[in-house]
Structures are given as C-alpha cells and as structure tokens.
Amino acid sequence: MSTQHPASGARPVFSHDGIAFGCDYNPEQWDRSVWREDVDLMREAGVDLVALNIFGWSHIEPRPGEYDFDGLDEILDLLHAAGIRVNLGTGTASAPPWLTARHPEILPQVEDGTTRFPGGRQAWCPSSAVFRRYALELVEKVAERYGQHPAVELWHVSNELGCHNALCYDDESAEAFRVWLRARYTTIERLNTAWGTSFWSQQYSDFAEILPPRLTLASRNPSQVIDFHRFSSDELLGYYRAELEVLRRHSSVPVTTNFMVTAHIRNLDYWQWAPEMDVIANDHYLDNRLADPTAELSFAADLTRGLAQGGPWVLMEQSTGAVNWQPHNLAKAPGEMTRNSLTHVAKGADAVCFFQWRASLQGSEKFHSALLPHAGTDSDLWREVVDLGHTLDRLDEITGTRVQADVAMLFSWENWWAADGESRPSHGVDYLSQVHAAHASLRRLGHTVDLVRPGADLSAYKLVIVPSLYLVRDAEAEVVSNYVAAGGHVVITFFSGIVDEEDRVRAGGYPGAFRELLGINVEEFAPVLPGQRLTLASGMTATAWSERVRARGAEVLDTFADGPSAGRPAITRNVVASNSSTRGVARYLATSLDPDALDAVLRDAAAEASAHPQGDEREPGLEVIRRATAGHAIAGDTAAASDTPRSYLFLINHSAHDVETPARGLDLVTGDTVDNIARVPAGAVRVIREDPAR
C-alpha cells in the first residue's frame, strides 16, 4: 500500500508492497531457539509486517538507564534477512516494575480517587511528567538505535493509547486540567458561563478550585464532564506528539499508533487525532456482547476509513479466533477469520494484521487466539492462516483504491460523551446504539456508508444521515442546512441539535439547531419505559422514545398511534426549495424505530435521493462493496489517481447458503473468470476485478 494524508505535505508516506499481512510478535516471551522457527513459519504463511517491542520496556531497559538491545537487534536482523518488514514499537506501553516502585506517583487514579496499581498494564497517568521523562528517554534510545534500520517500515507509538488509562483523576491531572481550561476560557468568568455554574452554587472564583469530575453524590456538572473528556483526549494526543517529536529527530520512517475504533472504548476524539498520523491504524475485535458483531465490524471499518479521509488504512490488530477479555470468548467458525479480514479490505484496509503471532503460554492472554495456536501447525486454524496469506497476495493490485459510497453518516466522539450524560432524558437510549441501528439498516439495504465528522463537506453525497447528534455547533448544523439547501437529502433522528458545544440547550423548541431545516417544533420529550412498544398509524413499531412534535411546514408522513405522544407526528418530511430547480429534503424520525420500520424509512429516503445500493436487500446475507481507482470515484477526493480506471467488487457471503449475483470479470480469489453471474459459496468471499464494460 501507499498512502499519504491529503493534509500531510512533506510528512512521510507509509508504503508497503501490496496488501500487508502482519501480526504483533512478542519474542521476549520465547526462547531464542524458537525465533528461527517463527521466522520460517511467518514466511510460509506470507507474513510480511511484524510489530515488535510493543511491551518491550522491562527487557530493553531492565534497570534504570541500563539498556540491553541484544535480543531486539537479533530479531530485527532475523526478520530483515527474511524480507519481513518491521512495525517497531517504541516500547513505552507498559512501565517496568522498577519505574513504578521508584515513582509510585505515576500511577493512575480512577474517579473515586483510588489508585490503580501495577501488575496489569498501562498503569500510568497521562499527565505524569515523571512517566513522560522516563518514557521519552527510552524512545530516544530506541529511535537512535533503529531509526535507520532497513527493516523498519513503520513506528508504532506506545500501544492503544488510552485503552485503560485515558481518564485519570489524580492531582497532577487536576493541575493539567486547569492549565487546559485556562487556555480554553482565559478567564474564570468565561468558564463559569460555559459550565453554567450558577446552577447548584457551583460558581468558581479561581481556576485553582477546579477539580477533575471525581465521583460525587449528586450528578456531576455535565459541561465539566465533557470538558474533562476533551482535555483527556488532548492530553494523550500531547503525549503522542512528544514521542513523535523524539522519533522525528532520528528517523524519517512514518509514525502511527493503533486506534481503538470499537463499541466499548470511547475516550479519545479520533477526529482530532487522525490528522497527526502518517497512516491511520485501527485495532478491531469482534464483540460478541453485541447483538450483531459483524454489523459492528462493518461500522468500525467504515469509521476507520472516515478517519483516513476515505483513503487506505491499516488493520493493526484483530484476532484469528477467541479473545480473552469478553465474558464468553467465542471461537470463530471456519472461514470467519477470512471473511472478517476481507471485509476490512473491502472497506479500505490495505493491511491485515493480528494480535498475535504465537499464542502465549503464560500471562493473562494465554487463552487469546493467535496466528500460530497452542495446537501448532497441524491445525485447521493454521491452515486457514496460510490460506489467508495467499489470498491477500492475490489481492495486492487493490492497494490504493478507494471505497465507493454515496451515503454518509455523521459521527462524533464529543457527542458520544455529551449525549450519554448522567442526567439525560432516558437511559433507555444511547448514542452508539442509534448510530449502529442506522448504519445496520443501510447495510441491510445494500448501501456502503462513509462516516464523516460534523462539519465535513457533504456535497459529494446523495444522502446524509444524522443520528442523535445531540451536541452540535452552529457552524456544523449550518453545513447540514446548506447541503439540503443545495439539493441534498438528509435524515435526522431524535435527540439531535439539542445543545451547543458548551452543552447549553438551544431554546425555542427542539431539535434546536435543525428546527428550521426540518420544519417542525418539538415541545417536549416523552420517552417510554423499557419493554413498552409504540405503534405508529402506519402499523410500524418503535420503542424507547417519543416526543411531542408539531409540524411547522413539514409534511407528516406518520403519527404516533399510541403512547404518550399519540396523535403527534412521528416521521416528517420537509422540502427545502431554494429555487424552482433545487429541492432538498430533510426527514425527521421522532422515535427509535424497529429495524423493519427503519429500513422502510431509509429505503424511501435513499430512493428519493437516488442513492444507489451496491448490494441487493433481497439477498440479506451478501455484503457487496466496491473499491475503485479514482476514475470510478463517487465521493471523496482523487488520491488514487490512475490512468486506467479499475474497480473491484467484494462479495461477502455471511449466510449459510450459496448465493448468485450479477458480476463480470476475474475473481482474484479463485482465478476464475466470471461471466454475468458470480456464485459465492456459503461463508465465502469473492473479489471480482470488474470488466471495464460493466
């Protein structure tokens, strides 16, 4: 792959020959005698990108200031000799015991003010100056030694920054929070206004009085909580920059860190982080606590591509089978790992990497799957791994192409923090579920969706979905209104446009920022209890939420037939005509529709917007995604310019039966020519290089 961030100017470009197939490798856990066998087996499987030194600190600096690079030297040279490129960890992810014993003040504190101890990992406070000093000394040594090593293709800063320690409430964090607040608000009066501290006698007379939002008896000031999230995300980004700055002094190799775009971690605002990465990298694990883990994979991959501004990205970690950190760690079915991997590729990944190479025999992750399982090479899993390596080789020509989508959805981490506040109208709804529901519906309808940040240019899209965007800035709302005024089609769902960036309600009726655009006014929220079903006049059903909507120009498409908002509009449609030829449409959903009903509404909206599904909803198990060179672009810029336009159709069969679908071209997976109809066996994936005359 080769990818350059549009805004990166002279920043290094991550470039790998073809689609990378890789893994985390922790050779420290193994006797040297195993290393050669590992490298031989990596070659057999086609592994060509290996992450090293992620948790290396206590090995390479066994005592303060005493460095031992023998092992790392040897393994880097072994990999290099085998032609395997290295994604080199700076080694700072987890502090060694000597550091926490010597400086217990670096340990993190959770919201009740208690300390979290070493013995796990990432036991450090993001604001700790002492931790940062020691960590940067290590980075300096690693960068000095390996900054010019020919095997190093990518720098891997720390590991999953903020996975465990994103929110730290100790005194050092409190001081850093005050510095951040001073920079944001300048005066205490401005902070008081922004946080609404006239409520509950919370007025501050000095920044020195401010604490992180530690655990309280009554609910906490929501603006303070949101600002603490913003601060915490910025604080770790500052830490990333500090490591980056050291690396840059010694090396021109691209730098990244592995994001966690996932359902259960939400503490970093990756829209802020993404522009600072030389390549976007994500870790993704199927979450079997969710009703539909594969739908979430699809969403996370779309969002990761959004962070990469539509360009290629790196899947830095996933699992071959079970993880060890869910209550029930499910093995993957035969073929599922391949299907997961190729779904990521379909959605823009130009690298497929795993945690980890060889399954550990000890430690908390000994029951986590790996490329090389405890059972060894005489196993179905190993055979599937080798097979996947070969398949990825056959897909090399796809690198650099871009995913085609004409539907976009807004997503915001900041809104996630704000909308899911302690004192919200109903704990029966949460932001991510609403986003997932809308995304899953579009996926069922066969659409590929680009996830974009509020405020992003929407002009390339036929249809835009705005699910529960509670917190929105004036300028961000304006982009949506202007898009509709220019003829765009939007679907906005309940609990959107309610507050400004300081969490202050936009008075005059909900959904404040979108009221005019939608031609409605909501007087009151009327959520319902869990288990209560709502019926609309059309017979469609919903749960959790209703509200008292008044149409102010919008056409009423459906009304609540029962529940606390009976007789009031539930679905509306407002036509915005700027002139006789430009007509945009803004739909509103005032409830949490059941899947069939949501599909019906979005199907209509997409049809009216002339958004074209790639898949066919009559074949619900078949996910269809197209990647193409710039000549085929529907949306996004032209990063992958090419003289001969090429397009690739990914046919992913999640179902238990064989499926036939129209396609013409060469199947890169099997090498077969496809004339008119592609047959995709149950559970399989086909990737068709399409004939130009499609």
Residues that are catalytic: 160, 317
Provide, rounded to whole angstroms, the least separation between the CB of residue 316 and ligand GLA: 8
Provide, rounded to whole angstroms, the least separation between the CB of residue 317 and ligand GLA: 5
Provide, rounded to whole angstroms, the least separation between the CB of residue 321 and ligand GLA: 11
Beta-bridge partner residues of 584: 576
Task: Please name the helix (run of DSSP H) or strand (run of DSSP E) that holds residue 141, with its range, or none.
Answer: helix 129-146
Strand 407-410 and strand 463-466: pairing?
Answer: parallel
Quick one: which of 283, 350, 547, 623 contacts ligand GLA (CB under 6 A)? 283
Provide, rounded to whole angstroms, the least separation between the CB of residue 26 and ligand GLA: 9
- Report residue 444: phi and psi, to 5°: -60, -35
Provide, rounded to whole angstroms, the least separation between the CB of residue 636 and ligand GLA: 28
Task: Please name the helix (run of DSSP H) or strand (run of DSSP E) that holds residue 293, with its range, or none.
Answer: helix 293-307
Binding track over 638-677 against ligand GLA, x by CB under 6 A: ----------------------------------------
Looking at the Cβ atoms of 160 and 172, the one nearer to ligand GLA is: 160
Cα separation of 357 and 7, whole Å? 34
Write out the binding residues for ligand GLA, residues 166-205 only, by CB under 6 A. Answer: none
Looking at the Cβ atoms of 16 and 368, the one nearer to ligand GLA is: 368
Looking at the Cβ atoms of 362 and 644, the one nearer to ligand GLA is: 362
Looking at the Cβ atoms of 353 and 522, the one nearer to ligand GLA is: 353
Provide, rounded to whole angstroms, the least separation between the CB of residue 319 and ligand GLA: 6
Quick one: which of 29, 92, 159, 653 contacts ligand GLA (CB under 6 A)? 159
Strand 463-466 and strand 489-493: pairing?
Answer: parallel
Cβ pair 138, 61 in contact under 8 A: yes
Record the tokens describing residue 73, joined without a space. Answer: 């030297």
Looking at the Cβ atoms of 36 and 264, the one nearer to ligand GLA is: 264
Three-state DSSP class for residue 133:
helix
Q: Which residues of 16-46 are buried (b: 16+ CB within 10 A; e: fewer)?
A: bebbbbbbbbbbbbbeeeebeebbebbeebb
Q: Which residues of 406-428 are buried (b: 16+ CB within 10 A; e: fewer)?
A: bbbbbbbbbbbbbbbbeebebeb
Beta-bridge partner residues of 155: 88, 255
Quick one: which of 156, 332, 344, 368 contacts ligand GLA (CB under 6 A)? 368
- Report residue 316: phi and psi, to 5°: -80, -30
Write out the binding residues for ligand GLA, residues 285-344 only, by CB under 6 A. Answer: 285, 317, 323
Three-state DSSP class for residue 591:
coil
Say which residue the tokens 């209703």 belong to.
Answer: 546
Provide, rounded to whole angstroms, the least separation between the CB of residue 614 and ligand GLA: 30
Three-state DSSP class for residue 38:
helix
Looking at the Cβ atoms of 341 and 543, the one nearer to ligand GLA is: 341
Task: Outline where 327-401 has alpha helix (H).
Answer: 336-346, 380-394
Closest CA to 653 of 612, 681, 675: 681
Looking at the Cβ atoms of 259 and 382, the one nearer to ligand GLA is: 259
Provide, rounded to whole angstroms, the least separation between the CB of residue 133 and ligand GLA: 24
Looking at the Cβ atoms of 246 and 281, the one nearer to ligand GLA is: 281
Give the orientation angle of helix 595-609 with respect to helix 431-444, to 10 degrees. 60
Looking at the Cβ atoms of 157 and 625, the one nearer to ligand GLA is: 157
263 exposed, middle or buried (CB, 10 Å; 0-12, 13-18, 19+)?
buried
Q: Under the criterion CB under 6 A, does residue 160 sit at the interface with ligand GLA?
A: yes
Strands of 673-674's sheet in order across: 402-403, 622-628, 647-653, 685-690, 665-667, 673-674
Provide, rounded to whole angstroms, the least separation between the CB of residue 161 and ligand GLA: 10
Closest CA to 463 of 408, 404, 403: 408
Give the orientation angle of helix 431-444 with respect to helix 293-307, to 10 degrees. 100
Record the tokens describing residue 564, joined without a space. Answer: 């606390």
Q: State which amino acid sits at residue 569.
A: P
Q: Is the dihedral of CA 662, 668, 674, 679 positive or negative?
A: negative
Looking at the Cβ atoms of 193 and 326, the one nearer to ligand GLA is: 326
DSSP conformational letter for 611: P
Record the tokens describing residue 199, joined without a space. Answer: 């409520």
Q: How many residues touch ligand GLA (CB under 6 A)? A: 9
Provide, rounded to whole angstroms, the least separation between the CB of residue 99 and ligand GLA: 19
Binding site for ligand GLA (CB under 6 A): 159-160, 283, 285, 317, 323, 355, 365, 368
